[in-house]
Amino acid sequence: MPYGTPEERLAAEGIELPRAPGPLGAYRPWVIFGSLLITSGQFPRRGDGTLAYTGRIGSSVSPKDAYAACRLAAINTIAQLKDAVGSLSRIKQIVRVEGTMQVATGYRDHPKALDGASDLINLAFGEAGRHSRMIYANTEMPLDTPVLLVVLAEIRD
């Protein structure tokens, strides 16, 4: 297990968590149900709220940018987790990562793109970050985003 808190591991990589993004509609950005924390879908948004990436993966979004978009969506997701529980050390286990991607016809490297999120989550949470995951593919996404990320996490009391 890596040393330090998740916040310290992220800082060691030069990652500063942004303020948790607010919802874009009539919903909560996260919900706690018992010991389960579920985030709403997170976009690859910059700190100012604008999307850093738009378009379809496999056409206007390169595989490299798809990985980066998933990584940025994970940073926003981790910011939501922190907003929900105060300290990321309260995350006992990342249970599941779900990535919905806007892809071009014929694109097949979804797992490599979603590794952008998984790699960052595993770095931040160490063994507690090892998760199951699901990938969904769409031809159209809200705001023309290439990825929307949802995380389910178990929290400590």
Can you give the pLDDT at residue 157? Answer: 83
What is the domain extent for residue 31? 6-155
Answer yes or no: is 76 within a domain.
yes
For the chain, give the percent of residues with pLDDT over 90. 96
Answer yes or no: is 136 within a domain.
yes
pLDDT higher than 50, residue 30? yes
Q: What is the pLDDT of residues 32-83, one digit of tens each?
A: 999 999 999 999 999 899 999 999 999 999 999 999 999 999 999 999 999 9
Answer yes or no: is 1 within a domain.
no
Q: What is the pLDDT of residues 121-142, one digit of tens each?
A: 999 999 999 999 999 999 899 9
CATH number of the domain encompassing residue 126: 3.30.1330.40
For the chain, give the percent of residues with pLDDT over 70. 99
| Distant-in-sequence, close-in-space partners of 84: CB < 8 Å, separation ≥ 6 | 30, 32, 37, 39, 155
Can you give the pLDDT at residue 2? Answer: 57
| Strand extents, DSSP E, 34-142 | 36-39, 91-102, 132-138
| Two structure tokens written together for 50 | 């604008």
Written as one string, the DSSP assignment of 125-140 is: HGGGG--EEEEEEES-
Total domain count, the chain = 1
pLDDT higher than 50, residue 156? yes
Nearest to 151 by CA among 22, 67, 41: 41
> Please, what is the average pLDDT of the chain?
96
Can you give the pLDDT at residue 3? Answer: 77
Whether the model clears a pTM of 0.85, i.e. scores above it, the answer is yes
